A and B are shown apart, each in its own frame.
Chain A
Amino acid sequence: MADAHSTESNYLTATTGLKSWLFTLDHKRIGLMYLVGVLVFFLAGGVFALTLRTELLTPQGGDFISATTYNKMFTLHGAVMVFLVIIPSVPAALGNFLLPLMLGAKDVAFPRLNLLSFWIYTLGSMFFLFTLAAGQLDTGWTFYTPYSNTTGTAVISATFGAFILGFSSILTGLNFIVTVHKMRAPGMTWNKMPLMVWALYSTAVIQVLATPVLAITLLLLIVERTLMIGIFDPAMGGDPVLYQHFFWFYSHPAVYIMILPGFGIESELIAVHSRKHIFGYKAIALSSVAIAIISFVVWGHHMFVSGQSELAGIVFSFLTFAVAVPTAIKTFSWVATLYKGSIEFNTPMLYGLMFLFTFSIGGLTGIFLGALSVDVHLHDTYFVVAHFHYVMMGGTIIAFVGGIHHWWPKMFGVMYSEKWGKISALFIFVGFNMTFFNQFLLGQQGMPRRYWSYAPQFQQQHILSTVGGYLLLVGFMIIAIYLVHSLRNGEKVGPNPWNAQSLEWTATASPPIEHNFHGQPRVENDPYNFPEIDRTGSSH
């Protein structure tokens, strides 16, 4: 084995030229290309969001953009952030890079499929960009019928884009499931897998099971719009609530496609940077699977006011509470891991702690919305906006940023600036809570979501929100600058700067060699047995 690897070139330098990247089969390079794509669209989605927030500085609409532009902006913000950023962020970008390394494999099971998935993602993004340029879109990211059948905007190109992106998501999920089943290193039993792998696995299961339903939903929507077959549009004999059932049967599990990988990152951040064996390994691992299963039976809570039967509403409300149980198991396990740990307040840990704080708020307010009677009051208000931003951004994006910091030295072999890392984390924490916390209050007071103008008494809180948004921008800009700066000027690091115990740290260099490992790594310990753990205590 060692013949080709005797010179220490790594995956970044092994081959050169644009083609060696665009047609690479190396999961690490594909992961990095995904990362670049995701970050570019994150910037675009962020610009859309700030446009909205700037318009909302004053109660009357129109001092900056028109009402139609406003509708298009929030649609693009939602659609880009959901389909192009959050869904691929952790699994396709970080997950692609990490999964084979964590399992001790040379690559994912199907490297060509992996590259195809990236190209499909690119193609789907093109459709979205096309939508942006031509006609735009004003339906909201949910494409609800009958409006999506009648609006003059580019519904077909946007839904077709989402349809294509679905294939990319399915292929990644399929690849990951097979990789976890078939490519684990000798000695790596299911209970010795890092929790990140469990999370990616559960995510992949949802991707494979839910996305096809979205595919057929969007296909039916396109057919409805072009051929008018009368399945969703009441004017032609269809049932618009059927569309909502179809859409949320995918899109509620998709919420867990977005958050589960964040849970995985959180487990790694908390355990590694508090130098303590993760508390409740099996509980965390299996609660991911439990969430994956329960997530399929809660979709009706998006339709409490859509005219579904009361009985269905009650059942869905109850099931929604049920999904909070495994989530709480995870949260308590993380807190218990921190207890008496040797906590290092470095940037990854700061994001880990931030996640606990913001995600808990997001999760708990989800219970408010899952309660049938409360939801009737809060439905379609800023309370909902605040809730899902606390989960999606306060959960997934915060974990994603923490993960980027945690694995940055592994990806590029350099360390970022810890000082600037902490400063930007502060900006993001303050900015995030300033933007979204008072949106809970706004919503509770009756401020409806998706409005371009609003009653004057809400102005102060809207201003606060907008300022918070700009603080977030500053925070992310600082991150972008010091991360890019570190690529050239960052301090070089060894294979395992965090002294972590999973294979991506212990068995390969930073950055890893092209084929990941010299020889086949074998696994004896579980990934959270840190060397300094006091073994007289209960490390298990």
Chain B
Amino acid sequence: MGDHAKPAKNHAFFQHHFNTVGQQAGAAKMGMWLFLATEVLMFSGLFLAYFVVRALYPEMVLSSHELLDKTMGGINTVVLLTSSFTMAMAVRYAQLGDNKRCATQLLITLACAFIFLGVKYVEYTGKFSHGIFPGGYFHYDEAAQYAHSHGHSFRGLPHVFFGLYFVMTGLHGVHVLAGIGVIVWVYLRAKRGDFKDGYYAPVENVGLYWHIVDLVWIFLFPLLYLVK
């Protein structure tokens, strides 16, 4: 089929079930915001679980969270915030049709994402090496000894806290992985020079997604690592 009515205004990626490119871009953006709403609601379940556990076992949560590495968590926060900035820059360059600069910014964003996961890997293996495994695989004696050596002592059921820690940061990590996937996708498209004539919706939507991944971490970090 062909909608030959307004060829001048249409970019190469115009889909013909829309009447105008504006309608297409608006739909894409609205769809993304709705998707982000579902993401927030999904994580809200985990946050609720966290608060319930906190209310049930306040002393346990307090004594357990001391074992999380605040420095590494802090580094990761800075890394993610930086990546959000470069992502925003990438969106700006895509709006201007500057595919080359857009690709560069996306590369930096990707690098940040990998650094984040690398730090997370170090944190996880550190925990595992001291018997802090998720849930039923938690080694009490080993973990308690480790806590002692750091001047803390566990109270109650620390495996519940660490179980939640692994689930929350694990699910967030899965989202970072998905983010890497979609950033690579827009990176390749930028390399191909797709973003021009006012067509930049994919970069913008990937950007929105990446910001929500960042935002979830902004809540995870203080709740798990910092709050007394």
Contacts and interface: CB of A to CB of B under 8 A. Distances in A.
A109 B38 contact: no
B134 to A, nearest CB: 5
Interface stretch (B6-14, B116-124, B156-164, B177-185): B156-164
Contacts of B137: 227-228
B38 A211 contact: yes
B57 A515 contact: no
Interface string A509-525: 00000010000100000
6 contacts: A109-B27, A208-B37, A220-B46, A229-B159, A229-B164, A515-B17
Interface string B115-140: 00000000000000000001111000
B62 to A, nearest CB: 16
A164 B31 CA distance: 19
Contacts of B157: 230, 236-237
A229 B160 contact: yes
B111 interface: no
A133 interface: no
A106 B16 contact: yes
Contacts of A107: 17
Contacts of B3: 1
A227 B41 contact: no
Interface string B43-85: 1111011001100110000000000000000000000000000
Contacts of A215: 42
Given A227-B135, A515-B1, A105 B38 contact: no
Contacts of A105: 17
B188 interface: no
Nearest to A25: B17
Interface string A158-194: 0000000000001000110110011100000000000
Contacts of B166: 227, 229
Interface in B83-131: none
A380 interface: no
A220 B31 contact: no
A213 interface: yes
Contact of B45 (A182, A220, A239, A520): A220
A490 interface: no
Interface of A: 1, 3-4, 105-107, 109-111, 113, 170, 174-175, 177-178, 181-183, 208-209, 211-213, 215-217, 219-220, 223-224, 227-231, 236-239, 242, 246, 515, 520
A212 B175 CA distance: 15
B42 A239 contact: no
A415 to B, nearest CB: 30
Given A178-B30, A182-B26, A227-B135, 13 more contacts: A4-B1, A107-B17, A109-B31, A175-B31, A212-B42, A216-B43, A223-B167, A229-B163, A230-B135, A230-B157, A242-B49, A242-B52, A520-B19
Contacts of B31: 109-110, 113, 174-175, 178
B226 to A, nearest CB: 22
A220 B49 contact: yes
Given A231-B53, A246-B45, A174 B167 contact: no
Contacts of A111: 17
A216 B45 contact: yes
A217 B30 contact: no
Contacts of B16: 106
B49 A231 contact: yes
Contacts of B37: 208-209
Contacts of B52: 239, 242
Contacts of B160: 229-231, 236-238
Given A106-B17, A208-B37, A216 B164 contact: no
A220 B163 CA distance: 10
Given A174-B34, A230-B163, A209 B41 contact: yes
A393 B92 CA distance: 52
B136 A228 contact: yes
B136 A227 contact: yes
Contacts of A181: 27, 30
A213 B171 CA distance: 14
Given A229-B164, A229-B167, A239-B52, A208 B159 contact: no
A223 to B, nearest CB: 6
B2 interface: yes
B23 interface: yes
B34 A217 contact: no
A216 B159 contact: no
Contacts of A515: 1, 17
A250 B16 CA distance: 36
A229 B38 contact: no
Contact of A239 (B19, B35, B56): B56
B39 interface: yes
A384 to B, nearest CB: 26
B57 A183 contact: no
B164 A231 contact: yes
Contacts of A174: 31, 34-35, 38
B65 to A, nearest CB: 16
Contacts of B1: 1, 4, 515
A175 B160 CA distance: 38
Interface in B185-214: none
B27 A178 contact: yes
A229 B16 CA distance: 50
Contact of B42 (A3, A213, A238): A213
Contact of B23 (A1, A182, A213, A229): A182
B5 to A, nearest CB: 8
A4 B4 CA distance: 12
List 9 A-B pairs, minimum CB-CB distance, nearest first: A229-B163, A228-B136, A216-B45, A229-B135, A227-B135, A212-B42, A212-B41, A106-B17, A107-B17
B157 to A, nearest CB: 4
A238 to B, nearest CB: 7
Nearest to B35: A174
Given A182-B23, A230-B163, A208 B44 contact: no
B38 A170 contact: yes
A220 B56 contact: no
A107 B1 CA distance: 14
A221 B56 CA distance: 19
